[in-house]
Amino acid sequence: MPEPDAELASGPVWLADTIEPWMHALPVRPAGERAPATAAEVRQLARRWLRLLVLLLEERPRLELVTRALADVRELLDLAVVTTDGPDDGQAAITTLLGPLRHVKPAPRVDDLAVLRGEMLSVLTALADLGLDERAEAIATGRGDAL
């Protein structure tokens, strides 16, 4: 992104001559369509999802840690978009893993945690469908970084 032409109290300002060439250089995507999840995003999702599950599996889950971990995973909810050309296995796995998190309150109560734990355990097998091993090999051999 180019440097702003001016700085106001409300934030940076770019003149059309400065920002338009940069905007035209961006890849074109139809409005509302998300680029495929990158391998880094998928690994981040797996780590955050597993961290939340581990916290939920504790004998007495610590609510403040679970709430923070839940917020971290929820940041990635937009990875579970439904594509118009049909989801592939990796996209379906992402959608499955994030499904139980869609209806959980941002600040869950202790009794909500048992339900969430059960729902997450029921979709745990979808983690294998993310293909983390194949992604790591594809990146190492330079074959790509997307789903």
Distance CA 76, CA 44 (A): 9
Distance CA 29, CA 63 (A): 40
Distance CA 40, CA 49 (A): 14
List the single range of 46-60, 93-107, 129-143 with lowest mean pLDDT: 129-143
Q: What is the pTM of this model?
A: 0.65
- Amino acid letter, 126: A
The pair of three-digit structure tokens given for residue 128, joined into one six-digit string? 């294998």
Q: Which residues contact 22 (CB under 8 A, 6 or more apart)?
A: 1, 2
The pair of three-digit structure tokens given for residue 55, joined into one six-digit string? 């916290």
Residue 99: in which H helix or E strand, if any?
none
Q: Express each pLDDT in 75-85 by its tens digit.
A: 888 777 644 44
